Structure 1
Amino acid sequence: MRFAPEAGQRFILTVDTEEEFDWTRPISKSGHTLHSIARLAKFQEFSEAQGVCPIYLIDYPIATSPLAAEILKPAIAAGRAEVGVQLHPWVSPPHDEEVNQFNSFAGNLPHALEREKFHRLHAAIEQNFGATPLIYRAGRYGTGPHTAEILSEHGMAIDTSVRARFDYSAAGGPNYRDHPVTPYWLDRSNGLMELPLTSVYWGILRQIGPWLYPKLWRTPRLRGALARIGMLERIPLTPEGVTLEEAIRGIDIAIDEGLPILVFSFHSPSLAPGFTPYVKTEDDLDALYDWWRGVFAYLRQRGVQPSNVKDIMRSVELATTARPS
Structure 2
Amino acid sequence: MKLVLSIDVEEEGLFSGAYQRNAPVKNLDHLSRLEFLSKEMGFPLTLLVSWQVANDPHCRDILKRWQDELGAEIGAHLHPWSTPPFEDLGKPEPVPSDEIPERLLRAKFETLLETLQTGLGVTPTSFRMGRWDFGRQMQTLLPQYGIQVDASIAPLRHIRGGPDRFLAPADPYWLQPADPNGRPLFEVPLTMVPIWPSSPRVVHSLAKALPSKARQAILSNFSAVGAVGIQPVWYPATSMRWAARIHRRRKGQVLTMFLHSSELMPGQSPHFPNEDAVHRLVEKIRDFITWLTQTGPVQGVTLSELLPKDRAGAA
What is the TM-score of this pair, normalised by structure 1?
A: 0.82
Higher deviation after alignment, 269-278 or 97-106: 97-106
Cα deviation, residue 85, structure 1: 0.7
* Equivalent position amino acid for 2:8 in 1: D
Aligned mates of 1:107, 1:237 — CA distance in 2: 29
Q: Does 1:10 align with 2:2?
A: yes
CA deviations 1:181-238 (Å, max 9, x no partner) are 2222235884631111111122xx4532443388586379x979xx7xxxx5322321
The match for 2:31 among 36, 40, 44 is 40
Aligned mates of 1:122, 1:108 — CA distance in 2: 21
Aligned mates of 2:123, 2:68 — CA distance in 1: 11
CA deviations 1:47-72 (Å, max 9, x no partner) are 33221111111111111111111112
**Cα 1:40/1:263, change in 2 over 3 Å:** same
Q: Does 1:271 align with 2:264?
A: yes
Aligned mates of 2:90, 2:227 — CA distance in 1: 32
Cα deviation, residue 143, structure 1: 1.5
Q: Secondary structure at the match of 1:164?
A: coil
The match for 1:211 among 197, 202, 215 is 202
What is the TM-score of this pair, normalised by structure 2?
A: 0.85
Aligned mates of 1:318, 1:25 — CA distance in 2: 43
Q: Does 1:184 align with 2:177?
A: no
Q: Does 1:290 align with 2:283?
A: yes
1:309 maps to: 303
Counterparts of 1:221-232 in structure 2 under 5 Å?
none
* Equivalent position amino acid for 1:53 in 2: P
**Deviating 4+ runs (over 4 angstroms):** 99-103, 187-191, 213-217
The answer to whether the 8 Å contact 2:3/2:254 transfers is yes
The answer to whether the 8 Å contact 2:19/2:94 transfers is no
Cα deviation, residue 304, structure 1: 2.1
Q: Does 1:252 align with 2:237?
A: no
Counterparts of 1:121-200 in structure 2 under 5 Å?
121-168=112-159, 170=160, 172-186=161-175, 190=183, 192-200=185-193
Q: Does 1:98 align with 2:117?
A: no
CA RMSD of aligned residues (A): 2.7
Counterparts of 1:64-79 in structure 2 under 5 Å?
64-78=55-69
* Equivalent position amino acid for 1:281 in 2: N
CA deviations 1:5-52 (Å, max 9, x no partner) are xxxx2010110111111524353434x222211112332354332211
**Cα 1:303/1:46, change in 2 over 3 Å:** closer
CA deviations 1:80-102 (Å, max 9, x no partner) are 11111111111001112437457
* Equivalent position amino acid for 1:218 in 2: A
The answer to whether the 8 Å contact 1:48/1:80 transfers is no
Aligned mates of 2:3, 2:299 — CA distance in 1: 6
Percent identity of equivalent pairs: 24
Q: Does 1:59 align with 2:56?
A: no
Cα deviation, residue 298, structure 1: 2.1
Q: Does 1:117 align with 2:117?
A: no
* Equivalent position amino acid for 1:288 in 2: L
Aligned mates of 1:99, 1:11 — CA distance in 2: 42
Q: Please, which runs of 5 or more residues in structure 1 have no aligned partner?
A: 1-8, 321-325
Aligned mates of 1:181, 1:142 — CA distance in 2: 18
The answer to whether the 8 Å contact 2:39/2:70 transfers is no
2:211 maps to: none
CA deviations 1:255-307 (Å, max 9, x no partner) are 12222211100010011110012211111111111111112112212212211
The answer to whether the 8 Å contact 2:167/2:200 transfers is no
Aligned mates of 2:184, 2:148 — CA distance in 1: 6
**Cα 1:191/1:41, change in 2 over 3 Å:** same
Q: Secondary structure at the match of 2:7?
A: strand
Q: Please, which runs of 5 or more residues in structure 2 have no aligned partner?
A: 208-213
**Cα 1:270/1:157, change in 2 over 3 Å:** same
CA deviations 1:131-168 (Å, max 9, x no partner) are 22110111011112222221111111101111111111
**Cα 1:288/1:103, change in 2 over 3 Å:** closer
